[in-house]
Amino acid sequence: MIYDVKVLTPEGKVKKIVKVKTLMHEIWKQEGLSTRSFKEMNAEAKAKALAKAEGPTKTCKYCPTVFSPRFATSLVCKSKACKQRHYRELGAAPKVDKICPRCSKSFKGNEVRIYCNNPCTYSKKFLRKEG
């Protein structure tokens, strides 16, 4: 544990008090360690990351924002409004008329859906086939 250091005169009076922070900086300098603050190091790291991330840029489909896409097929920036607008324009998968193979009810579903509702789905997975 390091404490404040009192520098005394030959008469025994306090000449000055050296604070722990100052002592630690001196020790770090002697050991060759960094004395920069966390904020300084974090700002420097962010600047390096931005410089490294410079690559192809695109303009958002819905706003004038220029952004670095994470994937080559990205069309919109990271803003929530642009993402929502994009997905709303894509729309949901089209619904088609289907017939449930379990209970023979007709229902509307997308291409992937097989059964009309949970009981038919669960009966396929967990119950023995009726005979």
Q: Are 44 and 60 members of one domain?
A: no
What distances in angstroms separate CA 63 from CA 72, 92, 115, one per listed residue? 18, 23, 42
Q: Are 60 and 47 members of one domain?
A: no
How far, in Å, CA of 32 to CA of 22, rounded?
Answer: 15
Residue 105 lies in a domain: yes
Do 47 and 37 contact (CB within 8 A), yes or no? no
Range of the structural domain that residue 29 is part of: 5-52
Give me the torsion for CA of 123, 124, 125, 126, rounded to 10°: 40
Residue 131 lies in a domain: no
Q: Are 79 and 42 members of one domain?
A: no
What is the number of structural domains in the chain? 3
Note the pLDDT tens digit of each residue in 90-123.
887 788 999 988 888 898 888 888 888 877 876 6
Q: Are 9 and 30 members of one domain?
A: yes
pTM given for the model = 0.36
pLDDT at 114 (0 to 100): 86
Residue 79 lies in a domain: yes
Q: How confident is the model at residue 129 (pLDDT cuts 50, 70, 90)?
A: low
Note the pLDDT tens digit of each residue in 22-72.
888 888 888 877 766 767 777 777 777 766 656 678 899 999 988 888 888
